[in-house]
């Protein structure tokens, strides 16, 4: 069974008297343990596709299946729980909370899953040690480098042990050396059994994935 599937998905925005079709009938299937790059230039619709794939938004038309379940038929609470448990997000701008330490940032998603404080601390500490930040767990984001912040973000994405890692331009705010380290981390996670979906505008970055889906003008232009 596909872990994620889009069937003839449209996303239409109304702007005044005009309708903008950000996605136009996209269909794709992502299998467990796959590593897929969604590639496209600015304005192509790839960010909208990311929001749909990540179950952050619902399609105007079409069907999105997460583990075989239609997300449009879930309540907001059910969808939030499913998303929080099954999908880990890694964002270009890290999206860490400035007033919280690295440990507290990583622990946060577990709070919404009802995990005990003791279990949250243990799991978050373990993940930060695994990415080489065991001596930085009490540092706030402003006290960390860009690469360290992204490693905190990756740890946060993994904290609920999701089956899918969704990375949105994960190297966009990093230098080339640190960017390669982040890509290597994603490849390692894929080898460990995680499904990785990486959204990028960089062809060189997309080549690290097992398959590529190129979006242009809201449609799938190429697959390989």
**In the chain, what are the domain boundaries?**
4-223
Q: In a 3-state reduction of DSSP, which class is residue 179?
A: helix
The DSSP symbol for 142 reads G
Q: How far apart are CA 61 and CA 188, in angstroms?
A: 36
Q: State the pLDDT at residue 93.
A: 86
Q: What is the pLDDT of residue 112?
A: 80
CATH superfamily of 4-223: P-loop containing nucleotide triphosphate hydrolases (3.40.50.300)
Each residue's pLDDT, cut to its tens digit, for the chain (224 residues) gives 899 999 999 999 998 889 999 999 999 999 999 999 999 988 899 989 999 999 999 999 999 999 999 999 999 889 988 888 899 999 888 899 999 999 999 999 988 888 899 999 999 999 999 989 999 999 999 999 999 999 999 999 999 999 999 999 888 888 888 888 889 999 999 999 999 999 998 888 899 999 999 999 999 998 88
Which tokens in the block code for residue 108? 């946060």
pLDDT of residue 181: 87
Q: Rounded to an integer, what distance in angstroms lies between the CA atom of residue 221 and that of residue 25?
A: 12
Q: What is the pLDDT of residue 165?
A: 96
Closest CA to 199 of 184, 188, 209, 189: 209
Half-sphere exposure of 134 (CA within 13 A, CB side): 5
- Where do we find the tokens 């080339």? 176
Taking the model in full, what pTM does it have?
A: 0.91
In whole angstroms, what is the distance from residue 188 CA to residue 121 CA? 24
**E-assigned strand segments in 106-176:** 164-168
Q: What is residue 171's predicted lDDT score, i.e. its pLDDT?
A: 86
Q: Which pLDDT score is estimated for 207?
A: 92
**Cα–Cα dist 220/121, whole Å:** 42
């Amino acid at each position: 069974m596909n872990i994620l599937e889009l069937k003839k998905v449209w996303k239409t925005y109304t702007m005044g008297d005009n309708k903008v079709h950000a996605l136009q009938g996209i269909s794709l299937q992502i299998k467990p343990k796959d590593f897929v790059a969604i590639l496209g230039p600015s304005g192509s619709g790839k960010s909208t596709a990311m929001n749909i794939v990540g179950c952050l938004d619902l399609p105007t038309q079409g069907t999105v299946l997460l583990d075989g379940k239609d997300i449009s038929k879930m309540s907001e609470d059910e969808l939030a729980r499913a998303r929080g448990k099954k999908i880990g997000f890694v964002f270009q701008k890290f999206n860490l909370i400035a007033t919280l330490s690295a440990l507290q940032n990583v622990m946060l998603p577990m709070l919404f899953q009802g995990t005990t404080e003791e279990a949250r601390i243990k799991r978050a500490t373990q993940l930060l040690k695994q990415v080489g930040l065991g001596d930085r767990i009490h540092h706030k984001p402003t006290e960390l480098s860009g690469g360290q912040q992204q490693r905190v973000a990756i740890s946060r994405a993994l904290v609920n042990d999701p089956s899918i890692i969704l990375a949105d331009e994960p190297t966009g705010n990093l230098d080339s050396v640190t960017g390669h380290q982040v890509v290597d981390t994603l490849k390692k996670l894929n080898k460990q059994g995680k499904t990785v979906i990486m959204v990028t505008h960089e062809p060189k970055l997309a080549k690290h994935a097992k398959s590529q889906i190129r979006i242009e003008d809201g449609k799938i232009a190429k697959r390989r």
